[in-house]
Amino acid sequence: MRCLGSLGLCCLLACPAPAVDDVDDGAPDAASQVTAPPGTATAMVDHFHDSLRIKNAVIAGDLAEVPPAAQRLAEQLVPERFPAAWRDHLGPTMRMAATAGAARELPEAAAAAAGLASACGDCHAAIGRGPEFPAPGVPPVGESHDTRAHMARHQWAADRMWEALVSRSEPAWSAGATALVNAPLNSEDLTRDVELPQEALDLGVRVHDLAARATHVTDWPARTAIYGEFLASCAGCHTGGC
C-alpha cells in the first residue's frame, strides 16, 4: 500500500472504503465491484493534490491560484479513463472543478471548493472505495490570547472538515466543527498589532456561528453548504487584513 508521507493519505484505490452511513453493504452496486485499471491510483493522488490546492488557495484569498489547479483536475477527469460503471459519478466532480476554475469572486470559488470535496465524497461512497485519513487527533492549543495559535486551530479544523467531506467521515467532521466552536477570536486580540475593518472582525464572529451550526447538522449537503460559507469567511478575513 502506497501512502502520501506526512499527509497520511493512502492511494485512493489501494485503501478500504471509509464508513458511509447510507451505503448498503449487503447489496453493493456494480461500481463497487469494478477493478480499477492500472494507473488509476496515481491519477487519484494527483486529483487529491489539486483539490487541496483549490481549498488552500481559497482560504488564503488567492483567487488566481484556483484556475490552474481546477483546470488540471478537470482535464484529468476524462470519463473514458475510468471504468464504465464509475462514469456517472464523475459528472458532479467535473462540474465543480469547472465552476471553481471559472469563479470570479472568492465566495463563488469557496462554494465550488466545498462542492468539489463533497462530489468526491459522493463518488467514493458510490464506488465503495476512497481515501483513508488518519484519525482526527487533537487540534493545536495555545494561550487564550494567542491569535497565531487560534489561526492554526482554524486551519486544523478546515482540514478535518474537508477530509470529512471527501471521505464521509463522521469523526473528522465532528472534530473539525468542535475545534472551531472552541476557538473563538476576540476582536481585541485580532486588533492588538494591526487595525482591521469592522467587516473583517464580523467575519471572525461568523466563523464561530457557522461552527455552532456545523456541530448540529447531520446531512452532507447541508454540511457542504456550511463548509463553503466557512471557506468564504476565511478568505474574506484574510483578504481584509487578518
On whether residue 209 sits in a domain, the answer given is yes
Mean pLDDT of 45-63: 92
On whether residue 91 sits in a domain, the answer given is yes
Query: What is the value of pTM for the model shown?
Result: 0.77
Q: How many CB atoms lie within 10 A of CB 213?
A: 17
- Say whether pLDDT at 114 is over 50: yes
On whether residue 85 sits in a domain, the answer given is yes
On whether residue 28 sits in a domain, the answer given is no
- Say whether pLDDT at 146 is over 70: no
Mean pLDDT of 197-201: 58
Residue type, 27: A
On whether residue 30 sits in a domain, the answer given is no
H and E: helices and strands count for the chain: 9, 0
pLDDT at residue number 43: 80
pLDDT at residue number 192: 55
On whether residue 4 sits in a domain, the answer given is no
Radius of gyration of the chain (CA): 18
What is the count of structural domains for the chain?
1
On whether residue 89 sits in a domain, the answer given is yes
- Say whether pLDDT at 70 is over 90: yes
90: containing domain: 11-22+35-239
- Say whether pLDDT at 220 is over 90: yes
On whether residue 152 sits in a domain, the answer given is yes
Q: C-alpha distances in angstroms, 57 versus 107, 164, 174, 216, 239?
A: 12, 19, 24, 28, 12
Tens-place pLDDT, residues 73-103: 988 888 888 888 788 888 899 999 999 999 9
